[in-house]
Structure 1
Amino acid sequence: MNILALQHLINTNNIAYFLIIGAALIIILSYFFTLLSEKTAIPSVILLILLGFFTKRFFNIGVDDVDWIFPLEILGIVGLMLIVLEGALDLKLSKERWPMIWKSGLIALVSLFVNVFAFAYGLQFLITNLDFLTAFIYAIPLSIISSAIVIPSVSQLEEEKKEFLIYESTLSDIFGLILFYTVINNVYTDQVTKIGLNVISNIGGSFILSVVLSYVMIIFFQRINTQIKLFLFISVLLLLYAVGKVFHMSSLLIILVFGLILENRHIFFSGVMKKFLRENKVKQVLADFKLLTAESAFVVRTFFFFVFGLSITVAGIFKTKVVVGALAFLAIMFLTRWLLFKFIVKKDFLPQVFIAPRGLISVLLYFAIPDDFLINDFETGLLLFIILGTSILMAWALVHYKLGKTGRLRRVAKVKSTLQMNGHSQDVDVYNKEDVNANR
């Protein structure tokens, strides 16, 4: 059946069924992409983007900017919350992990500010007559690591490397969101002291509210006896996240703190608070809650990156100015990252240094730029090139690391096998010598 025949088959009477068929096929293919990712280390999100891109070409789907901005925004908001929650529920807190936590946070913070200022000056160079404030606002989405891509892509790494990257990408999201909305909300404030107080009150207020709400929700969570409770809980978290964003709070911090407190409840529910914790109740439901969160994040992530693939326009990527600018930004980004890892982590920082993809959060913030700062000369191809470039580089690093690790394991196995064979031959020699002496 050719494309014209298929398009003729799809009409207004049965389009709903074809949408269901398409959605089901996308989820099934996403599942196989996940299996393929486990075998090859190629991130499944890249395969989903390619699926969306080639689906648009194959079926000649006309998707204009107006059509895909809104679904991308909705999927992105829900997906970001679920993915951060999924990552937080896998993080353990302990004294031994503290050096890793502060190092990942420091790298996330320093690299964010270095990249934002470097990219802002770079955008001024690329776009004539662009003021620094507007360039600074446009530079923020380009500078934030996407936890939505990192978290599902690093599952095959060692536990310590995986946790480091989850912390770093999640904190990069939080720091980036705080910086973006701090600038947007204080554009017309000319007092540095007032801006500083706004930032401190925002972060401090969000953190205190996060801790209080986390305790209240966990205590409430363990007292629900009805069977329908998991989606209720996710709905409450979505409500808190959305309401927090409306009031310009650091909503992502609420999700991160809740996940950390729930997973590490033995630390936070100690002493006097221990009597409020029903460990058996929480433990029974937590496994199902983790499964529901992971599967919901999987579905939302699948459709976000598929729709994102539909939105990609190749013509805007391969302009000379876009290519040169994006390559310069990528060079600055990874040089900064290598220097930070060299001086802060100091050793064993491969492949982490190459895992800094831009994605979901960059797209969300790009569309959140106020109308007063929108510029016609900004090439969206620059954003797409950097998203694809960082994702491809991450895929290369993960595949190279996995192949190198496999090679190292094979070499170790070969050495052990050789040693065992040598030891066996030595035992045979000793046995033969003893046998000869006995015959004598």
Structure 2
Amino acid sequence: MVLNFIQGFINEDNIAYMLIIAASLIVVLSYLFSVFSKKTAIPSVILLIALGFSSKKLFSIGVTDVDWLFPLEILGIVGLMLIVLEGALDLKLSWQRWPIIWKSGLIALLSLFINVFIFTYGIQIIIGNLDFLTAFIYAIPLSIISSAIVIPSVEGLDEERREFLIYESTLSDIFGLILFYTVINNVNTGEAAKIGLNVISNIGGTLILSVVLSYLMIIFFQRVKTQVKLFLFISVLLMLYAIGKVFHLSSLLIILVFGLILENRHIFFSGFMSKFLKEEKVKSVLSDFKLLTRESAFMVRTFFFFVFGLSITVAGIFKTKVVVGALVFLLIMFLVRWLLFKVIMKKSFMPQVFIAPRGLISVLLYFAIPDDFLINDFESGILLFVILGTSVVMAWALVHSKLGKTGRLRKIATVRSIFMGSNRKAV
């Protein structure tokens, strides 16, 4: 009925306006989801995915009616870059924060490798007669934490926990991309030493290039006098990111390093380098640049997860093999994570241990698997189940963190009132 009512207004003359109305409505709802998320700690990306999926059902959009791969890939690439930049511009560097940095990096690295190897054997068991390399490639997207979901979802946590999760999720993205493309680009390389050299040269070269480009961009950043310059810098960063990916570099490092140097310029432009920094000029436009980055990331994230919701099909999720396999993967994932936090963090690791969602980066890498390694027997429902499962667990952890203390206080107050009441009666 609703569909017929809406279709009555749509014709060839106004379809462009109807699309504008729909896109605007999605943005408005995304904003309301963000407000709701801050009040309840339920991640807004879950609501966006649900909105996309329910819209598909409501308007009867068939899975084969639209090829969702290309728009998802474009939105995912731009969104990942903007979200990492948004997170980097909120990070402060200091010796006091060094424990957070190295612990988050170590947990991200160990969690990635342990999960990849465990999931590799799990995929071989589920499918059967599958070679180790192919299973390994399919296991990588399942093992990477999505900074695209983490960064906007942890705004309500205290600064230390929030910074830890931003560092961990961003580094997990970087480590996962390096691992994925290292395996893909060295399939025919038989020598382990040569592969190791390729990885070291890739990371080292990208890191040096990132620092040099960041210094040059910041110096240029403060010399541009035209009114239109903020989108210019975002466009340059996007171009550098894309060029880096074409040449198989770890492009996210370029974005992360640029954001860190720009936000912590007093550290990187010290000594003789201080003469190249015009603090007043940088400071005058930095707040606007942060705002533009945040707004752009919000827009791209909104449409990525909405389109992702449109692309979801539940037909393959409820197969016994998919449900059991995904649940085992989730159990192993959080068990490994809990053990790593127990050993490395030792204390104060709630709710961080349950915040490890899979999302944007997992989808991008899943669709980036080369044709030579594509297998028909791999159930994409496993990936979808893991993405939704980790998001639900994260939502529970954030809600519990936000409301748990209040709930416990209420219980204590209730018990105390009952106890005091019983004492008065006894007297």
1:27 corresponds to: 27
Q: Any unmatched runs of 5+ in structure 2?
A: 415-427
Distance 1:282 1:32, change over 3 A: same
Question: SS at 2:217's partner residue?
Answer: helix
Structure-to-structure mapping, 1:29-108, within 5 angstroms:
29-64=29-64, 67-108=67-108
Residue pair 1:65, 1:311 contacting (<8 A) in 2 also = no
Superposed CA deviations along residues 165-219 of structure 1, whole A, max 9, x for unmatched, are 0000000000000000000000001011111110000000000000000000000
Structure 2 equivalent of residue 370 of structure 1: 370
Give the whole-Å Cα distance in 2 for the aligned partners of 1:317 and 1:65: 21
**CA–CA separation in structure 2 for the residues paired with 1:106 and 1:267:** 24
CA distance in 2, matches of 1:66, 1:136: 30
> Aligned-pair distance for 1:11?
2.4
Alignment partners' CA distance in 1, 2:234 and 2:410:
44
Alignment partner of 1:209 is 2:201: no
Q: Report what 2:302 is aligned to.
A: 302
Deviation readout 1:279-330 (Å, 9 max, x if unpaired): 0000000000000000000000000000000011111111100000000000
TM alignment of 1:201-350, pairs within 5 A: 201-350=201-350
Alignment length (residue pairs): 414
C-alpha separation between the residues in 2 aligned to 1:116 and 1:311?
A: 26
3-state SS of paired residue (2:347): coil
The equivalent of 1:438 in structure 2 is none
- Map Cα deviations across residues 31-56 of structure 1 (whole Å, 9 max, x no partner): 00000000000000000000001010
Q: How far has the Cα of 1:137 moved from its partner?
A: 0.2
Post-superposition Cα deviations, 1:382-415, rounded to whole Å, max 9, x if no partner, equal: 000000000000001100111113346779999x
Give 1:338-417 correspondences, 5 Å limit. 338-407=338-407
SS at match of 1:100: helix
Match of 1:166 in 2: 166
Amino acid at match of 1:388: L
CA distance in 1, matches of 2:288, 2:64: 39
Matched, 1:125 2:125: yes
Are the aligned partners of 1:42 and 1:395 in contact in 2 as well (CA < 8 Å)?
yes
Task: Identify if the C-alpha distance between structure 1 residues 279 and 195 changes in structure 2 by more than 3 Å, giving closer, same or farther.
Answer: same
Give the TM-score normalised by the residue count of structure 2: 0.95
2:198 and 2:65 map into 1 onto residues whose CA distance is: 34
CA distance in 2, matches of 1:137, 1:65: 29
Instruction: String of CA shifts for 1:108-137, please: whole Å, max 9, x gaps.
Output: 000000000000000000002110000000
Gaps of 5+ in 1: 415-440
Give 1:14 deviation, angstroms: 1.7
Whether the 8 Å CA contact 2:63–2:313 is kept in 1: the answer is: no
1:13 shift after superposition: 2.4
Contact 1:138/1:366 (<8 A) preserved: yes
Alignment-derived partner of residue 144 in structure 1: 144
CA contact (8 A) 1:79 1:297 kept: yes
Change (3 A) 1:94 1:413: farther
Cα separation, 2, equivalents of 1:20 and 1:405: 43
Amino acid at match of 1:318: F
Residue identity in the other structure for 1:330: L
- Between the aligned partners of 1:65 and 1:128, the Cα distance in structure 2 is 33
Looking at structure 2, the residues matched to 40 and 123 of structure 1 have their Cα atoms a distance apart, in angstroms, of: 36
User: Equivalent residue of 2:68, what SS?
Assistant: helix
Q: Which amino acid aligns with 2:300?
A: V
Alpha-carbon separation, structure 2, partners of 1:156 and 1:317: 32
* Matched residue SS, 2:375: coil
Calculate the TM-score normalised by the size of structure 1.
Answer: 0.92
Give the match's secondary structure for 1:315: coil
| Matches of 1:366 and 1:95, distance apart in 2 | 38
Go from structure 1 to structure 2 and tell me whether the alpha carbon gap of 1:131 and 1:65 turns closer, same or farther (over 3 Å shift): farther
- How far, CA to CA, are the matches of 1:312 and 1:219 in structure 2? 45
**Native 8 Å contact 1:140 1:176 kept in 2:** yes
Matched residue SS, 2:321: helix
Q: Distance in 2 between matches of 1:413 and 1:258?
A: 50
> 1:81, CA displacement in angstroms?
0.2
Go from structure 1 to structure 2 and tell me whether the alpha carbon gap of 1:76 and 1:336 turns closer, same or farther (over 3 Å shift).
same
